[in-house]
Structure 1
Amino acid sequence: MKLANRVAVVTGAGGGIGRAIAIALARRGCHLALADIDGDAAADCARHARALGVRASVHPLDVADRAAVRALPSQVDAVHNRVDLVVNNAGVALGGSFEQVGEDDFDWLMEINFHGVVRMTRAFLPHLRLSNDARIVNVSSIYGIIAPPGQSAYAASKFAVRGFSHALRHELEGSTVAVSVVHPGGVATAIAKNARAPAGAPPHEIEKGRAIAERLLRMAPEQAGEIIVRGIEQRRARILVGSDAKIAALLERLSPVHYWQLIRKATAR
């Protein structure tokens, strides 16, 4: 896929993987509509993108806000007059077992991680169909391939993104709109630090969980962004980011029921 002079909408563009994707796209001459709940962070990303010679608009957005998502395509069109690429990257984390996580917290996470992806896709698909070469890129997770204990809500949301992406790809086969699903492994973003903890969870458990998660977040976001954008250029339907994601995918394929026992033994060693 030739990205020069295309227009990409990127959610969660204010930091982490989203910002890295946006800058990698800008380096290839792709114009940007940058959406993030933190408008100042999105504006900072836009400044860096413009320094690379592309047009970049800023759109403060909560993907859980239905009305705001419905209004976004017209806002993007007013600046860019087209859309060729939508990167659904915005997401949040929530630790805790299923019994620890309350219904409101579970629904909060699903509204952002899954329903946000669906809303963005519904809002922009008619516009993407006007492009001669368009793509929807949905960021799932390594936890959209494997489901560790203590991640029931997060894994549910990321498996949902994966299933939605696969079905949508099949439905759009033969059109000018393709679909990629991205499974990042441990990328050094602030997602673990900013993760919501279930009410009533012991503080020492929360801190232990965050410490473990942060040790696993090793890859620089900039490297992850480059891998993802190269995958877009290569029209890959599935983009695995990092050796940990590749190993997890292999283990899940070889042992779809008992992979967690294998992973637990390996990490213990």
Structure 2
Amino acid sequence: MDLRYQLAIVTGAGSGLGREIAVALSRLGVAVLAADRDADAADDTARMAREARVAAWAMRVDLTDDVELRLLAGRARDLGGADLLVNNAGGWTPGPAQYPDAPAEAWSRTLDLNLRTPMLLTQLFLEGLAERRGRRTTAAVVNIASDAALREGAYGSPEYAAAKAGLIRFTTAMAGERAARVTAVVPGWIGLPRAHEQWAALDAQERAGLPPLIPPAEVVRAVVDLLAHGPGGRVVELVGGCQPRVLA
């Protein structure tokens, strides 16, 4: 499917993978609504997207706040309606304490950000599609999960791993949705600047036991491919140094 002239909402677009995805889509002729809790960072991403001579807008959004998510969906409707949604925003519980040491409100917010937020935003996205008439293309959603969801044994942030596992199952459970193709990417450790710093801090033995970092461009390619062609319910795992693997 040709993505040109469509509008994409990208969450967590102010930096990291979200910015990479937003800019890559703009270079394919996609207009972008960059959503992030950091208004200045979102503005920078929108400016970079406009360098590709497409329309781009920034919006400061607390993605764990239902009211602000509805405002984001409303902004997309005001712009003519979103055709694409990338649920990229996510992260661990802030601070060193994770479940069970983190207070319940802290780890609950992490569950919200990584699972409830993409579910609600997808629902609002689908409602927006239902209000539109004359659409000739199938809309698409890509959820960014994590290999934390697929690991066995201990993990540093149980709430993050559990939420990402739920996001994968949410994706496969949506395989029958006709209004939009809902898919997911499950990357390992992505080679963004902070990851390179953490990688450099490991000793040689620790690095030897890990797959290489995944170039961000590989994750972006997988996202774009799913937006354009991925059948509903498809889940693609990305492991450094390996070819993408379809899980579902």
TM-score range, shorter chain: 0.7 to 0.9
Contact 1:142 1:185 (8 Å CA) reproduced: yes
Alpha carbons of structure 1 residues 245 and 17: separation in structure 2 relative to 1, 3 Å: farther
State the number of aligned residues.
Answer: 230
Aligned residues of 2:11 and 2:86 also touching (Cα < 8 A): yes
Corresponding residue for residue 169 of structure 2: 163
CA separation of 1:163 and 1:126: change in aligned 2, threshold 3 A? same
Opposite residue 63 of structure 2, the aligned amino acid is: V
> % of aligned pairs identical?
28
Structure 2-normalised TM-score? 0.81
Match of 1:184 in 2: 187
**Greater CA deviation, 4-13 or 221-230?**
221-230
What is the rounded CA distance, in whole Å, between the counterparts of 1:239 and 1:154 in structure 2?
Answer: 19
**Conserved? CA contact 1:18–1:225, under 8 Å:** no
Corresponding residue for residue 16 of structure 2: 16
Aligned: 1:240 with 2:245: no
Alpha-carbon distance in structure 2 between the residues aligned to 1:190 and 1:102: 30
Query: In the alignment, is the contact (CA less than 8 A) between 1:184 and 1:245 conserved in 2?
Result: no
Contiguous gaps of at least 5 residues in structure 2:
none
Amino acid at match of 1:221: P
Paired letter, 1:240? E
Q: Alpha carbons of 1:190 and 1:152: their partners in 2 closer, same or farther (altered >3 Å)?
A: farther
1:225: which partner in 2? Answer: 220
From the superposition, tell whether residues 147 and 96 of structure 1 become closer, same or farther in structure 2 (CA, over 3 Å): farther
Residue number among 127, 134, 155 corresponding to 2:139 in the alignment: 134
Q: Which residue of 2 aligns with 1:256?
A: none
- Corresponding residue for 1:93? 92
1:204-262 Cα offsets, whole Å, 9 max, x none, are: xxx99xxx79x877223234223321232232522323346869988xx9xxxxxxxxx
| Unpaired segments ≥5 residues, structure 1 | 194-206, 254-269
1:63–1:120 Cα contact (<8 Å) kept: no
The amino acid of 1:232's aligned partner reads: L
The answer (yes or no) to whether the contact 2:213–2:240 under 8 Å persists in 1 is no
In structure 1, distance between residues paired with 2:224 and 2:147: 18
Q: Give me the whole-angstrom Cα distance separating, in 1, the residues matched to 2:11 and 2:102.
A: 26
Q: How does 1:101-112 map to 2 (within 5 A)?
A: 101-112=102-113
In the alignment, the residues of structure 2 paired with residue 186 and residue 221 of structure 1 have an alpha-carbon distance, to the nearest angstrom, of: 10
- Please give the alpha-carbon distance, in whole angstroms, between the structure 2 residues aligned to 1:97 and 1:37: 22
CA displacement 1:158-209 (0-9 Å, x = unmatched): 0011111111223x1xx2311111101110336779xxxxxxxxxxxxx99x
Separation in 1, partners of 2:106, 2:60: 23
* In structure 2, distance between residues paired with 1:217 and 1:244: 6
| Residue 151 of structure 1: how far off its partner (Å) | 3.3
Give RMSD over aligned pairs.
2.9
Higher helix share: 1
Task: Between the two structures, name the one with larger relative contact order (CA 8 Å, sep ≥ 6).
Answer: 1
Instruction: Supply the distance in 2 between the matched residues of 1:7 and 1:218 (Cα, whole angstroms).
Output: 30
Cα separation, 1, equivalents of 2:56 and 2:218: 22
Higher mean displacement: 24-33 or 127-136: 127-136
CA distance 1:217–1:105, change in 2 (3 Å): farther
